[in-house]
Copies of this chain bind each other. A is one copy, B any other.
């Protein structure tokens, strides 16, 4: 009997779950809401229950499942599967691996959500099997995952891949959620882009973004990409600024870790070519020629499935 792997991707509002074959194809995927009441104490039971219900619906027994790989936000000890603190979930000192194993009877492996997305893209997405990969997720914040020789890089205390907190503006930068200032997250996240665009639009009354700001008070990062495509100068200035800082960060990092692929994911990556063409130009300017040659800059292809597929990969490795 061909068994299935289970990928679980825990977010602050939904839990994504999938049954995945050993060669990385999704058989079935679904979502359940994240119940963050009572400091998240129902989450593990909800996951186990949802997996059981889905098996029943597919007329499969629990024998069909081999192993679970799960991504969670916050700081995690990967060896023990222990969550020190997951702010959005409410967990603190929570033995996630142990609890989920108890509830499901399956072996469980746990990693950071940004890391499993990176491994998902490596396995079945834009990474296309490239074992040296840098993934950057441009969403509300900026997340990152680094793959070295096919393995997630964790570093000495689990902090590897915190790309969002690389300092881009050492003096006078905007405050970041981490407590520092001028982090690349304050510039290249959806939030950062919206803020920069607003600043640029307010200086340029002829900009289409100026109208959006004055009417709605705020700009969305997706408005910026479409305005830039239409030749709006404030929007173009904003994306050039973002590309300069992010291109420099990625080039500097690549001069050190020499990735074969740089995969850009998250909501902001929907800007596609409008963003990547600018990014590539700045990247080439700051990376060593041989590093540029080695690194293919590309947009993530798995979207919201990256986490569950990466989870399944972890589950497979764990067997």
Expressed in whole angstroms, the Cα–Cα distance for A132 and B295 within the complex equals: 24
- Contact A157 B258, beta carbon cutoff 8 Å: yes
Q: Please, which residues of chain B bring their CB within 8 A of the CB of A258?
A: 153-162
Q: Which positions 132-156 of chain A face chain B at CB distance < 8 Å?
A: 132, 144, 146, 148, 153-156
Q: Please, which residues of chain B bring their CB within 8 A of the CB of A257?
A: 146, 153, 155, 160, 256-257
A253 within 8 A of B: yes
Copies, count: 2
- Contact A156 B295, beta carbon cutoff 8 Å: yes
- Contact A294 B157, beta carbon cutoff 8 Å: yes
A121 to chain B, nearest CB (A): 16
Q: Which positions 252-290 of chain A face chain B at CB distance < 8 Å?
A: 252-253, 255-260, 286, 288-290
A101 within 8 A of B: no
Q: Please, which residues of chain B bring their CB within 8 A of the CB of A259?
A: 155-156
Q: Please, which residues of chain B bring their CB within 8 A of the CB of A51?
A: none
- Contact A167 B256, beta carbon cutoff 8 Å: no
The residue on B at minimum CB distance from A161 is B256
Expressed in whole angstroms, the Cα–Cα distance for A157 and B256 within the complex equals: 12
A242 within 8 A of B: no
A75, A146, A154, A252: residue with the most chain B Cβ atoms closer than 10 Å: A252
A130 within 8 A of B: yes
Interface string of A221-261 (1 = CB under 8 A from B): 00000000000000000000000100011011101111110
A163 within 8 A of B: yes
The residue on B at minimum CB distance from A166 is B252
Q: Please, which residues of chain B bring their CB within 8 A of the CB of A155?
A: 132, 257-260, 294
The residue on B at minimum CB distance from A134 is B256
A90 to chain B, nearest CB (A): 20
Known A158-B258, A159-B255, A162-B256; 8 more pairs at CB < 8 Å: A155-B294, A157-B290, A159-B291, A165-B288, A166-B256, A167-B286, A178-B288, A253-B253
